[in-house]
Chains A and B, each alone.
Chain A
Amino acid sequence: DAKTTQPTSMDCAEGRAANLPCNHSTISGNEYVYWYRQIHSQGPQYIIHGLKNNETNEMASLIITEDRKSSTLILPHATLRDTAVYYCIVRVPNAGNNRKLIWGLGTSLAVNP
């Protein structure tokens, strides 16, 4: 079962910031939040991940609330090439000291000219 809920779809104007919310109210203390995106007919692409601190890289920023029950992915200056399905994911413990990603249904982001 998915541990995250996201809006089904969102729109954003080109050049503006895209803010994608995610709820993960049942997340446990040692479970990371990951964000991936998938452009049609391609494999998922890693964006960013975090545990409790806010994170930033060349692609995006991840803002995690203090109670860790929700997070927001920020694409600072969206371009048409950012049109994709964005997945908010929780990484949980798995058998044999492994970890696995629990995928939600994702948000379909459309960046409009």
Chain B
Amino acid sequence: SAVISQKPSRDICQRGTSLTIQCQVDSQVTMMFWYRQQPGQSLTLIATANQGSEATYESGFVIDKFPISRPNLTFSTLTVSNMSPEDSSIYLCSVGTVRNYGYTFGSGTRLTVV
């Protein structure tokens, strides 16, 4: 399965600032996803990152708050904009290929907003 490098692994940020999280995959993948996992909670899908076009956002998530880029089949970024303490979560990158139906996850970015 694909190997994902997600950076940074953790960060503490001031409210009102923005943080960009990077997801690098060691092979070309069809699908890339960004999730949020709030403390003690399950995973919630933020958006599907589409190569060469705008990301597809889930209900409750908007591009202005969570802009996403995917310039090629191995790399994507998620930006958390104008952060507030409520954005403190673990953010996870996930990838999938049509062939194996399985989805691989990165180790996550633990974000704390103060």
Contacts and interface: CB of A to CB of B under 8 A. Distances in A.
A60 to B, nearest CB: 13
Contacts, number: 49
B112 to A, nearest CB: 14
Contacts of B1: 46
A11 to B, nearest CB: 20
A94 B4 CA distance: 23
B48 A98 contact: yes
Interface in B61-84: none
A106 B106 CA distance: 19
Contact of A103 (B4, B44, B101, B110): B44
A95 B56 contact: yes
A43 B101 CA distance: 18
B24 interface: no
Given A94-B48, A104-B42, A44 B56 contact: no
A104 B1 CA distance: 24
